[in-house]
Amino acid sequence: MLKDKGTKLSLFILFYASVLALSGCGYNFGRGTGVVPLKVDKLYVPVFTNLTDEIGIEDLFTSAMRKTIADSSDAQLVSESEAEGIIYGTIVSYSSVPVFFSSTGIATVYQLTITINVKLVQTITNKILWEMKGFTESMDFYPINDPVLTKQRERDVINSLAISMTQRAFDAMHSNF
């Protein structure tokens, strides 16, 4: 048993500080806790708009966002007619540039960079509830002598970026920070 008043006071302060720290950030967990703006729980995601020359990446981003919502406990993926909100995505830019070269001048590492815009629009009012513009992520990949396999590696990196970027956008949309 604690006999020292100073020890009791120290433990009380530590406990109180811990409670404040854990509850202070404003992040809410679970469905129906107000983490979705205006309690927009039923979401629809049309095909992302692709403003780049890279054919088919809109499908990867659309699928990634839909999967993120389907896997979420905060929202439900529904048809457009059932939706309370629509998440629109636009792939603004795409680049794949060599960043390292061998001593003979052959590219050994490429950096793939993608920029997207994402917004959540309330269906009843057509009001933008949340928007993120110019969200950019990059990832490196290593080419090999086979152009078909190099293109597949590049596609795998695009898919990884699509998953990461849509998850981060969805998380940002649902945070209360």
Distance CA 157, CA 57 (A): 11
Residue at token pair 């060599």: 98
Sign of the CA dihedral 99, 102, 105, 109? negative
Q: What is the reported pLDDT for 175?
A: 78
Condensed to tens digits (0 to 9), the pLDDT of residues 95-111 reads: 999 999 999 999 999 99
The two beta strands, 85-101 and 49-50, are: parallel
Distant-in-sequence, close-in-space partners of 129: CB < 8 Å, separation ≥ 6: 37, 38, 40, 85, 120, 121, 122
Tokens 């001593």 belong to residue? 103
Report pLDDT for 17.
38
Cβ proximity of 108 and 102 under 8 Å: yes
Res. 2 pLDDT band, cuts 50 70 90: very low
Going by C-alpha positions, the residue among 100, 112, 40 that lies closest to residue 76 is 40
Per domain, the residue ranges of the chain are 36-174
Per-residue pLDDT tens digits for 11-53: 444 433 343 333 332 222 223 333 455 578 899 999 999 999 9
Provide the 10 A C-beta neighbour count for residue 23: 9
**pLDDT > 70: what percent of the chain?**
77
Tens of pLDDT, residue by residue over 58-95, are 999 999 999 999 998 889 999 999 999 999 999 999 99
For residue 126, what pLDDT band results from cuts at 50, 70 and 90?
A: very high
Q: Contact, 76 vs 45, CB < 8 A?
A: no
Superfamily name and number for 36-174: Lipoprotein like domain (3.30.160.150)
